[in-house]
Chain A
Amino acid sequence: DQQVKQNSPSLSVQEGRISILNCDYTNSMFDYFLWYKKYPAEGPTFLISISSIKDKNEDGRFTVFLNKSAKHLSLHIVPSQPGDSAVYFCAALSSNTGKLIFGQGTTLQVKP
């Protein structure tokens, strides 16, 4: 029962272009969503989050979009940089439980 899904295991983009990472969820009780970035052999680093009362949140080069009707969120990175190459996890939670449910991750490669 995969409540949070990242259907693309990998993504490759050219430096300077936009990276779009996608995430779908099934549980309508989720009301808070987060994106994490992870380098090999390190713990995930929190990137950006969004509450279900919003449809967009922006922080520098990172923007998260939430489409509640489609149960879909995406992370846009503009412009992409080689240092952005990492595994990106989306996560969701219901404020009732406070437990984060993670997707499987998408490996982003940004080519110079």
Chain B
Amino acid sequence: GAVVSQHPSWVICKSGTSVKIECRSLDFQATTMFWYRQFPKQSLMLMATSNEGSKATYEQGVEKDKFLINHASLTLSTLTVTSAHPEDSSFYICSATQGLAGVYNEQFFGPGTRLTVL
């Protein structure tokens, strides 16, 4: 199957700093990428849907100025957690799909990035 990578796999930062997480589709063009957040022992919460070349669509309750998403190319989306605080500590997972309209599109998940804010 297709491969999605995330970088870094884990990051520790100080409160108030910004952290960028990259999500790459390695062997296919991803028209659509999704960003999820997973709290310990809980399910994945969709944060936003990112389409190449357009602004991300954020889910209700997700601060778009706090979680900046850029999908500048068909193989790369970035999530920047701005002015991170300890409550932003979480496991962030991206997924990517070709995003063909009206048909089944398999979604491929990255391995996740664990963010710890001190």
The finding on whether chains A and B are genuine partners in a shared complex, rather than unrelated, reads: no
Q: Which residues of A contact B (CB under 8 A)?
A: none
